[in-house]
Chains A and B, each alone.
Chain A
């Protein structure tokens, strides 16, 4: 059994940024455990550009963005193990992992950062009826086949879901010679970034059908046709609105789910809404010394925000390793109401927080000409006007320590959407 101060589960963008920040905060004994054969996580298959605008003021591809962090990890001499699957994490931070060389091994850590990322929702999660032939891929699997293996998973494609990976793959498949017939989205708005709708669909004349879903998949061996239909306000298909598309492939981009099976094993409390750990302003979970960041915490729209959040987690873990758990810290809950689906973090500790904390969240629908209102107790403290907000884009509010300390004896913080 080996000991490390900090074990980071996952060597994607979150794990890398967390490791760098912990090292720069003075922690030397760090180990990153990565299940894939290289560092960088899902960025390695995201060969389109647009990464890093916020962080580097440049438009990088996924692998380029990852490389900047990987280079820094190597420069700092941070240890990592590839092809290593973490099998278990306990409440007292014993991490059990496995690979070909070391077999099954355990590590005692003072602190653990969860950075496992997320996975795609499969067809079953939507209960899409029809046959189960070959040719039904999640958009990310198709992206891996095209961008990493160089294989074309289909020629004539229908895409369900307008999440960012689906939009990116609509363009990608088109560029590789496939015909993307339509993108159907069950919600009345897209789940992806506006810029992706313009650059990946509009620029290639690919129709986006909002409030539409797949009601039948045909084909015994390989997909031969997909039928979509319009849905009513309860998302039930409306008879008579069916349109049948002959195709050989159905790509699904119907949402991402944080991968929290290990978190659950370690006893970390999870949010039923964003499905990641419930954390305080230091990104510490309900288990002292276990922190979370990136898409395992909540699904982000931009990797830049993942890196930022992960740096915070690395810094917090370093503090925890040096100082131990803060005792008797006052913790204020943040209420997410009136259009705000959830917030990360869920709790803020006015006395122990950094000078400011960025609270990130998503809204539950499309809001035009509205404002994000923040209340300390019953007192409105800020109102930020926003011309448009949609579930596909993350929103944020910055809360300052000085403001909170001056707010007097409050019991909670509330963030909600109000009329501007």
Chain B
């Protein structure tokens, strides 16, 4: 019997798992994909919002501001990339600048610090590539960028190291109430648990609706992005938002923590909750829309495009906490933007609620620090040579574009919740995430997986399930 079963190993499920692992608890995380961080958490803007965007008093506002405050310390504790680069909401000459004042006001009510409005002359010194039509902007120094993969993986690893079990490749098929408890049937096992924590992203409504008389409805809102080569990474330094207009919410242009440039997202409600495909129209619109705020974005440097789905609940706010109608079910539902920013706060909030319900005690052996995969670029030449002498794998570069060594790839495979696919290695190490998009390194990474797991070359996948990379030997297909 589990005390708690968390459904979904995205950033929310993993943040909750990590917070829950502070207690003496028997808990598990159930994830249908082969790895953590495979849904919305891997395909978003990778930014930590300052917190001026949400309506005062909403859960979104509360969680966002708290999450944003927690993030910097957390990034040190759990060793994931984070940079407080600040953000600007820009207003162009044909837009109503009172909207900026309203945003400022809202931000102050939400408790966002250091917000101020800047005029063009000051702005242009800060961001020379702002569009010529930009006249004013709301500056939020506390806005930040983060690596959403490593943040989620860090939560998961730390939770796992502190005793939370992870069931990957495990799909929830049915949930039944068994007295006070729940029975979760999956494709692999049946899990008996006192509480359920629903962090199932775009499917959180389906999970809730299996057992709860209070029904929810989530719409998948697709957002498409372009990621540009690192040569374009300095085009802007801050995250540049657009002031919403009659044309829509606009798109952002932001550097990433790894030095690329990211442009997006579009916003389109779709019926298909698996619809993470990019479209001609969506990608086609990014150039035009982004030019309203930032000029000369070098779109010829695009290295990849992707789409993510935001889980938009009809009520428009996060749904957090124990359901009144279904005791023991804790929802973390409707987690769209600012979900990534709010994740640590949501984790803290839900874990607290669950621990109160179950009268959990703090676990004195909890260790809240996690060491990420060593990045040899942070070492001095002497330290690096010392490392290569001890572990020669760190002297062999596998991914040329991102300079990722075999040592880092081995670490990603052999650590807690280690990588089992090319994409899992990519999210942990960045091997294959560079300008050639794994053209050179994928055959070599496949070879490493084959040797280290060990597994047959024919079973190596891009991202688990049926995503096999090769079909057999030559002439035998």
| Chain A contact residues, CB within 8 Å of chain B | 35, 83, 85, 87, 98-104, 119-120, 122-125, 127, 129-135, 137-138, 140-141, 144-146, 148-155, 176-178, 215-218, 220-222, 237, 248, 261, 264
Contacts and interface: CB of A to CB of B under 8 A. Distances in A.
Interface stretch (B94-102, B149-157, B463-471): B463-471
Contact of B303 (A83, A125, A178, A218): A125
Nearest to A216: B277
B381 A127 contact: no
Contacts of B400: 35, 85
Contacts of B86: none
A222 B463 CA distance: 10
B389 A123 contact: no
Interface in B369-409: 381, 384-385, 388-389, 392-393, 395-397, 400-401, 403
Contact of B472 (A35, A152, A264): A152
B470 A103 contact: no
Contacts of B170: none
A101 B439 contact: no
A177 B471 contact: no
B280 interface: yes
A150 B300 CA distance: 35
Contacts of A154: 471, 477
B278 A103 contact: no
B279 interface: yes
6 nearest A-B pairs in the assembled complex, by CB-CB distance: A124-B304, A122-B437, A221-B466, A134-B462, A103-B385, A100-B395
B461 interface: yes
B72 to A, nearest CB: 30
B473 A151 contact: yes
B283 interface: yes
Q: Name the residue among A87, A98, A137 with the largest chain B CB count within 10 angstroms.
A: A98
A150 B227 CA distance: 33
A242 to B, nearest CB: 11
Most buried by A among B303, B384, B440: B440
Given A103-B388, A123-B304, A176-B474, A141 B467 contact: no
22 contacts: A35-B400, A98-B388, A100-B393, A119-B435, A119-B436, A120-B436, A125-B302, A127-B278, A134-B468, A138-B439, A146-B474, A149-B457, A152-B472, A152-B473, A153-B469, A220-B274, A221-B463, A221-B465, A222-B466, A222-B468, A248-B471, A261-B401
A220 B307 CA distance: 13
A178 B440 contact: no
Interface residues of B, number: 56
Contacts of A119: 435-436, 439-440
B251 to A, nearest CB: 15
Given A100-B396, A101-B392, A85 B471 contact: no
B280 A215 contact: yes
B128 interface: no
Given A99-B396, A101-B392, A103-B395, A155 B471 contact: yes
Contact of A221 (B278, B384, B392, B467): B467
Interface centre among B231, B396, B467, B470 (most CB of A within 10 A): B470
A226 B439 CA distance: 20
A99 B395 contact: yes
Contacts of A134: 461-463, 467-469
Nearest to A155: B477
Contact of B443 (A98, A149, A217): A149
Contacts of B277: 129-131, 216-218
Contacts of B442: 141
A403 to B, nearest CB: 38
Contacts of A130: 277-278
Interface string B434-468: 01111110110000000000000100011101111
A122 B306 CA distance: 14
A105 to B, nearest CB: 8
B475 interface: yes
B305 interface: yes
B282 A178 contact: no
Contact of A131 (B227, B276, B392, B477): B276
B439 A129 contact: no
Given A87-B403, A146-B474, 16 more contacts: A83-B396, A104-B384, A122-B304, A125-B303, A127-B284, A130-B278, A131-B276, A132-B306, A135-B469, A145-B443, A152-B472, A152-B477, A153-B469, A153-B470, A176-B477, A221-B465
A98 B474 contact: no
Interface string B270-304: 00001011111011100000000000000010111
Contacts of A138: 436, 439
A124 B304 CA distance: 4
Contacts of A220: 274
B298 to A, nearest CB: 11
* Residue of A83, A144, A148, A261 with most chain B CB atoms under a 10 A cut-off: A261
A120 B457 CA distance: 24
A87 B381 CA distance: 12
A220 B272 CA distance: 12
A133 B283 CA distance: 18
Nearest to B306: A132
Given A104-B388, A122-B303, A127-B283, A145 B470 contact: yes
Contacts of B246: none
Contacts of B466: 221-222
A143 to B, nearest CB: 10
A133 B284 CA distance: 21
A151 B384 contact: no
A215 B284 CA distance: 12
B214 interface: no
B342 interface: no
Nearest to B393: A100
Nearest to B276: A131
B476 interface: yes
A127 B475 CA distance: 33
A144 B303 CA distance: 22
Instruction: Count chain B CB atoms within 10 A of each CB in A99, A122, A155, A176 and give the residue with the most.
Output: A122
A141 B437 CA distance: 11
A103 B392 CA distance: 8
B239 interface: no
A103 B471 contact: no
Contacts of A104: 381, 384-385, 388, 395
A146 B474 CA distance: 7
B158 interface: no
Given A35-B397, A221-B465, A221-B467, A177 B476 contact: yes
Nearest to A148: B443
B44 interface: no
Contacts of B461: 134, 221
Contacts of B283: 127, 129
B226 interface: yes
A87 B379 CA distance: 14
B180 to A, nearest CB: 38
Given A134-B469, A222-B466, A124 B305 contact: yes
Nearest to A249: B471
Most-contacted residue by chain A among B274, B389, B468 (CB, 10 A): B468
Contacts of A135: 469
Contacts of A144: 443
Contacts of A99: 395-396
B158 to A, nearest CB: 29
Nearest to B406: A100
A141 B443 contact: yes
A216 B304 CA distance: 15
A129 B282 contact: yes
Contacts of A222: 466-468
A98 B276 contact: no
